[in-house]
Amino acid sequence: MITLRSQREIEKIRKACHIVAEILQRLKERIHPGITTLELDALSEELALKHKAKPAFKGYHGFPFSLCASVNEEVVHGMPSRTRRLAEGDIVSLDFGVVVDGYYGDSAVTVPVGKISDEAERLRRVAEESLYAGIGQAVVGNRLSDISHAIQELVESRGYSVVREFVGHGIGQHLHESPQIPNYGQPGKGVKLKPGMVFAIEPMINMGGAAVEILEDRWTAVTVDRSLSAHFEHTMAVTQNGPDILSRL
């Protein structure tokens, strides 16, 4: 069942999302060659506490960190590391969430480290563009898979592939709620979209094949062919006036 959120609830989700957006912005500013992903994790936690917000991922199914930091061929759920230093030319997906007053916000960006290759920058841009293509279909009267289809079509038309194993999701009083929102599929399927639905839409796209595998740490997902991967995510509400992106500053 998909919970329909009142305007008052949407404002609470927006509050959590704004904190996430601000923290992602601060992390972005701190990224430079040589910084470790564990330093970024510590900073994300410190900033969350400053905002009186609780990091949403820490302890979630036992995940030990506040931030997911996925570098290059890492797709999602990258574990912050004391030894992994970001290097010039890397791309890193920063995925962060908080809970405030019982409501969750969730967002992700893929950030360049120093100067990156044109190929990596193009992948990054297409991933972000595909997020907005999906959000553009999150309108009253459309069906859920119209979001999925728009993402897949855009990504594949640019010669990249869409990850199948991880999906977008409903969000509100839990980090992950119904429905699941795949980033691929035929249009016109699934539930009809109604005002008050709140979704975290999050395409993950690969430069090579779509296949991913999980590393021995049991969290980090990487591309099987070790090609680059990029990930963007916004939390948004379906409204009578069109998509309302809650995790935008």
Residues 219 to 238 in contact with Mg ion, rule: CB under 5 A: 233
Q: Which is nearer to Mg ion, 92 or 108 (CB)?
A: 108
Q: Which is nearer to Mg ion, 200 or 236 (CB)?
A: 200
- Token pair in block for residue 241: 């006036």
Sheet with 168-170, strands from edge to edge, namely 177-181, 168-170, 198-201, 234-239, 242-245
**3-class DSSP state for residue 129?**
helix
Query: Shortest Cβ distance from residue 83 to Mg ion (Å)?
Result: 24
Query: Shortest Cβ distance from residue 52 to Mg ion (Å)?
Result: 20
Q: Which is nearer to Mg ion, 106 or 244 (CB)?
A: 106
Q: Under the criterion CB under 5 A, does residue 128 sit at the interface with Mg ion?
A: no
Q: Which is nearer to Mg ion, 109 or 200 (CB)?
A: 200
Query: Shortest Cβ distance from residue 159 to Mg ion (Å)?
Result: 25
Mask: binding to Mg ion, 134-173, rule CB under 5 A, as x and -? ----------------------------------------
In the chain, alpha helices (H): 7-30, 37-50, 118-136, 144-157
Neighbouring residues of 195: CB distance < 8 A, sequence distance ≥ 6:
4, 140, 238, 239, 240
Query: Shortest Cβ distance from residue 115 to Mg ion (Å)?
Result: 27
The residue range among 17-25, 184-192, 197-205, 212-220 that interacts with Mg ion, by the rule CB under 5 A, is: 197-205
Q: Under the criterion CB under 5 A, does residue 200 sit at the interface with Mg ion?
A: yes
Residue type, 161: S
**3-class DSSP state for residue 20?**
helix
- Token pair in block for residue 4: 């329909």
Q: Which is nearer to Mg ion, 14 or 241 (CB)?
A: 14
Query: Shortest Cβ distance from residue 118 to Mg ion (Å)?
Result: 27
Size of the site for Mg ion (CB under 5 A): 5
- Token pair in block for residue 45: 């936690």
The residue with tokens 């990091």 is 55
Identified binder of Mg ion from the candidate list 45, 73, 74, 106, rule CB under 5 A: 106
Written as one string, the DSSP assignment of 152-194 is: HHHHHHTT-EE-SS--EEE-SSSSSEEEEE-S---TT-SPBP-
Q: Under the criterion CB under 5 A, does residue 95 sit at the interface with Mg ion?
A: yes
By CB under 5 A, name the binding residues for Mg ion: 95, 106, 108, 200, 233
